[in-house]
Structure 1
């Protein structure tokens, strides 16, 4: 390959990589800017990531879905497959959104104006035989990164009073964390880019 062709190939490869990264960043920004906002109450877990710094691991009321809430479990089905789950949320009296229904795969009806759908992923193997069984979907919003040195202090505060996460939900149910809330006060807000 001549030097000129090698340079052109390298430029094309660089442009493809830049385009892919820009597409990922722009998709996240669109959800943060235009998505439906919901606030979920969070439960703390220990913070620290060697590569990205302090974070808080987040658990929500929607982190444990009772099998009886899932409307489309086929009769006789014993366990969940490696699949997506849609959880319908509705704002509670305390301003935090709570799960009201769930479906594996697709939702049969669109959410009402006072509702929102969030899409998660369920690993296979969850026992669905008992209505008392709960499954634990992953929504991709289980960590929130903080400025250096802030994780432990916030973790302690979370054990003393309620904190929440403000989410932005796209029309298809993809969630992005928008802000960390201490009651009604915004502590940290995610930048668009």
Structure 2
């Protein structure tokens, strides 16, 4: 086989691997959106503008601040508390339809699986978390950004400050969540496509 043919075959193989990897990432996200447990989270307003990246809304949630009193294995300062790392938060559905934090753990899950109106969502405790100052831990879930059609960001930002907004989120068994839709009360404003 000549060097030219080897080069062409190598390039084709590399292209197939790259396309396969991108397809795997897209299919994984679509699987979460299609099959994940759907929860509704209450949104708190945050400035949504980034002129270099386009219109999007930065989302903060009630579940972005977890009281230390519901974290089962956080310990006391100096007792092995890791200021940054993974956390799992068990959400429960309230009468108003929103899901709120019921318990959380860093290392050891409590005995018993989540109930029928509960779901476990995986989060990350960012570095330099000042949890012991304000008696809560700040958590990110990878669902803090929602892209909007051009020109919609400022109107959504303004409206979030005067009435309640929510986000429908799909949560698979692994806990890694994906945003499905941005809600204005009961009305769906924008929905994420599967692909």
TM-score range, shorter chain: over 0.9
Report the 3-state secondary structure (helix = DSSP H, G, I; strand = E; otherwise coil) of the residue aligned with 1:168: strand
2:152 to 137, 143, 150: 150
Q: What is the correspondence of 1:1-193 to structure 2 with a 5 Å cutoff?
A: 2-74=3-75, 76-77=78-79, 79-108=81-110, 109-127=112-130, 133-193=135-195
Report the 3-state secondary structure (helix = DSSP H, G, I; strand = E; otherwise coil) of the residue aligned with 1:23: helix
Quote how far apart the aligned CAs of 1:4 are: 0.5
Quote how far apart the aligned CAs of 1:172 are: 1.1
Residue-by-residue CA offset, 1:93-152 (whole Å, 9 max, x unaligned) = 21110001000035233211110111011134435557x511111100001100000000
* Distance in 2 separating the partners of 1:105 and 1:8: 47
The TM-score with structure 2 as length reference comes to 0.91
The TM-score with structure 1 as length reference comes to 0.92
Q: Which runs of 5+ in 1 are unaligned?
A: none
* Distance in 2 separating the partners of 1:50 and 1:12: 38
Quote how far apart the aligned CAs of 1:166 are: 0.2
Report the 3-state secondary structure (helix = DSSP H, G, I; strand = E; otherwise coil) of the residue aligned with 2:6: helix
Pairwise CA RMSD: 1.8
Quote how far apart the aligned CAs of 1:186 are: 0.4
Residue-by-residue CA offset, 1:17-72 (whole Å, 9 max, x unaligned) = 10111111000000000110000010111122345410111111110111111101
